Structure 1
Amino acid sequence: MSGNRADGERGGAVGASLEIACDESGSDGENLTGGNTDVFAHAGVSLSVASAAAAVREIRDRIRSPAEEYKANHLLREKHRAVLEWLLAPEGPMHGRARVHLTEKTYFVVDRTLGLLLDDAAEAALLFPAGRPVFGQDGWQAFLEAANQLLRVRHDGDPVDAFYGTVDTLRRAHPGTDAARILERLAATRPRAVAYRDGFLAGPPLVPLLNPLLPAIVRTAALWSASGRPVHLVHDRQNMLTPERIAWIEDTARRAGIGLAGLRLVVARDDARVQVADFLAGIARKIASDELNGRGDPALTALLRPYVDPDSVWGDARSGALLAAPVTG
């Protein structure tokens, strides 16, 4: 995925850097186990403004909706299936010029919980696939919800007591399993959880542990700068992206050796490249969610595969293999 050519076929160039337009889909804040979506998607596209505008015009000409602003939902309607397939197809306007980073939200919760409490996020790759078979649907859902409440800034009741009560109940009910072994380790971490919650007394953290957007942006920068060419990111405006958090993104990328040259915000409707990124993010979220829940469309999943970041945060092995998003640990 190289940068802009003189004829403008590729992404916008800023000096020696590559400009990538970004948007997301599936944001529910820190509510990752009871929100409206179970997948978060962050897309980046390497298109010139002219190429992106041409793609948006073509979509409008094919769909012919009176809506002022088109969204992914327009493309996901069955009557517009041909337009969706054209957009994702190898001969379409995005192929080789767009990528999407996926986050399976419940896996993200488990990953962040074990990373915080055990300093061992690798255990998430063991606990996550075992949780539902060992603890049952109700027990596993109780664990996920308790972990989500423990880590989120806004919460109900005493999230520390609720989490460790759930851990104790499950580990005692299912002894001798690998899942119970991990819960045994978690049961000894209450002081760390209390210290984490006490940290909120001074105010909410700059970077909420459970918000997937900020790490997804860092990953997008890493993905596009992997060839050695630095990237500028152009992102749709949203409340989460304050100047302080943008500075955190840039600093985090710099310390990780990622070639992020800068990030600026735009209004999506004023930048066709961001509109295309919005299309891809919304489409990818829906296709991935359908595959995750066993109702995937094989043709659409196959069309999406070339766009999916192989280092997406994904815990379900079956759907991950189909989406080309391998299980991460």
Structure 2
Amino acid sequence: MHGPPSGAPADAPVPPAPGVELFCDESGYEGENLVGGITDVFAHAAVTVPAADAADCIRELRNRIRSPATVYKANHLQREKHRGTLLWFLGPGGPLPGRARVHLTEKSFFAVARIVDLLVSGTDPADAAAMLRGAHARGPAGELYRAGPRLYGGERWRAFLAAFNELMWINTRRGAETSADGFFGLAGELHRAGAPGEAGRLLGLVRQARPRTEALRAALLEDPRTVPALDSLLPALAAAVAYWGRDGAPVTVVHDRQTALTDERVARLYEVCRPPRARLRGLRFVDAETDPRVQLADFLAGIARKRASDALAGLADPELDELLRPYVAPDSAWGDARSWALLAPAPAPRAGLTPA
């Protein structure tokens, strides 16, 4: 158990207290690789299902699916022959209504949001308020995200985002080898191509941000334990703690083992999730297969990630969307208007916009 940093050992037990216990897992996480990776969506799910109900659900799934697999995963439910089981799992007769939530991150939009935050606004990547504020399609990031491919062409725009990703993806093995020249050269090309309105203004500001960018990279290289500039896991986890503890209740997180949640990053999470913003009381890691509640979070994250990715690709599934929407966090980091209209919880905000 990780308790609040206070000089006590990191694994010191946290005394029991009333509050919320969250069981969490994710799907589609590739660290800071936001452009050109295996997945285009990251999903982080949290459930508050009691242990007995979760165990009953796993037994019911085994009775319905009858796979010899030792541990069931989301793809078992997503097979066409188990469509009815998938709909039951998400529906009113399943274990999740009122006790689950999934935060979605559209990775390409998140990259654009970080360009605006880090290079234009000068936001500290570890800033607590910014982490809980998240990335929203309303505002400058949304303007640039929507205009970029239309104004500059999909291929050039994707190359621009990939160059930013490469520049800011810092670790001890590869970060120092990446030059700022490629990214700022592309930024200059796009700006010289001309663009009306907000997109052109933002690209002009990006071009002027080289000193700030190089200073940020130097700080990250000097201390690799710093919160990564492009990480989507900590913001999603912080959003879950803030939501489930919104009435002031302390929140304990039980998370599937995740190497990205180092001691330094967990300590940063405590700094973010403290009153009045939120109240993280403790965090511990388990193997998903040992706790049925974490397995349910794994199912929800995997189902939501696959459906959100399909929606981005233009694939329709109204029946599944109707059941999934109540679980989707309105503050998800999403920029694509067409797919968000399918995924947004009801009553849906204006298409493509998430609440500020």
TM-score normalised per structure 1: 0.91
* Shift of residue 292, structure 1, vs aligned partner: 1.3
Instruction: Return closer, same or farther for 1:150/1:142 CA change in 2, 3 Å cut-off.
Output: same
User: Deviation digits for residues 86-110 of structure 1, max 9, x if unmatched?
Assistant: 0001221111110001111111111
Q: For the residues of structure 2 that align with 1:266 and 1:308, how far apart are their CA atoms? A: 24
Deviation at 1:141, TM superposition (A): 0.6
Q: CA deviation at 1:243?
A: 2.2
Q: Deviations over 1:170-206 (max 9, x none)?
A: 1111343432221111111110111112223424243
Tell me which residue corresponds to 1:62: 64
Which AA in structure 1 matches 2:106? Answer: E
Shift of 1:156: 8.6
Label 1:138 to 1:168 Cα distance change in 2 as closer, same or farther (>3 A): same
Residue 180 of structure 2 aligns to which amino acid in structure 1? Answer: V
Which string of whole-angstrom CA distances, capped at 9 and with x for unpartnered residues, describes residues 256-302 of structure 1? 52022221111111111000000000000001111111113111111
Q: Which runs of 5+ in 1 are unaligned?
A: 1-13
Which of residues 90, 93, 96 in structure 2 aligns to 1:91? 93
Alpha-carbon distance in structure 1 between the residues aligned to 2:154 and 2:160: 10
RMSD: 1.7
Identity of aligned residues (%): 52
1:130 to 131, 147, 162: 147
Q: Distance in 1 between matches of 2:115 and 2:77?
A: 36
- SS of structure 2 residue aligned to 1:220: helix
Match of 1:78 in 2: 80
SS in 2 for 1:254: coil
For the pair 1:204 / 2:204, whether they are aligned, the reply is no
Could you list the per-position Cα deviations for residues 116-151 of structure 1 after superposition, in whole angstroms to 9, with x for gaps in the alignment? Answer: 111177421210111111111111111111111121
Matches for 1:233-244 after TM superposition, within 5 Å:
233-244=253-264
Partner of 2:189: 169
2:279 is matched with 259
What's the counterpart of residue 9 of structure 2?
none
**How far apart are the structure 2 equivalents of 1:161 and 1:170?**
14
Q: Which of 157, 164, 171 is matched with 1:140 structurally?
A: 157
Q: Distance in 1 between matches of 2:149 and 2:190?
A: 11
Deviation per CA, 1:5-59: give whole Å up to 9, x if none: xxxxxxxxx5311111000000111111111100100000011111111111111
How far apart are the structure 2 equivalents of 1:156 and 1:197? 9
Q: Is the 8 A contact 2:43 2:103 kept in 1?
A: yes
One of 45, 49, 52 as aligned partner of 2:51: 49
Aligned pair 1:117/2:137, yes or no?
no
Whole-angstrom CA distance in 2 between matches of 1:243 and 1:190 = 31
Query: Conserved in 2, the CA contact under 8 Å of 1:313 and 1:327?
Result: no
Q: Choose 244-253 or 34-43, whichever is displaced more.
A: 244-253
Q: Secondary structure of 1:65's match? A: coil
1:104 is matched with 106
Distance between the aligned counterparts of 1:141 and 1:262, measured in 2? Answer: 40
Q: Quick check: 2:220–2:226 contact (8 Å CA) kept in 1?
A: no
Name the structure 2 match of 1:183.
Answer: 203
What is the TM-score of this pair, normalised by structure 2? Answer: 0.85
Aligned to 2:297: 277
Question: 2: CA distance between counterparts of 1:26 and 1:84?
Answer: 19
Provide closer, same or farther for how the CA distance between residues 256 and 216 of structure 1 changes in structure 2, counting only shifts above 3 A: farther
Paired positions, count:
316
Deviations 1:291-321 (A, max 9, x none): 1111131111111000000111111112112
Q: Is 1:327 matched with 2:329?
A: no
Name the CA distance, whole Å, in 2 between partners of 1:199 and 1:189. 16
Question: 1:233–1:263: 8 Å Cα contact kept in structure 2?
Answer: yes
Q: Which residue of 2 aligns with 1:11?
A: none
Distance 1:327 1:132 in 2: 18
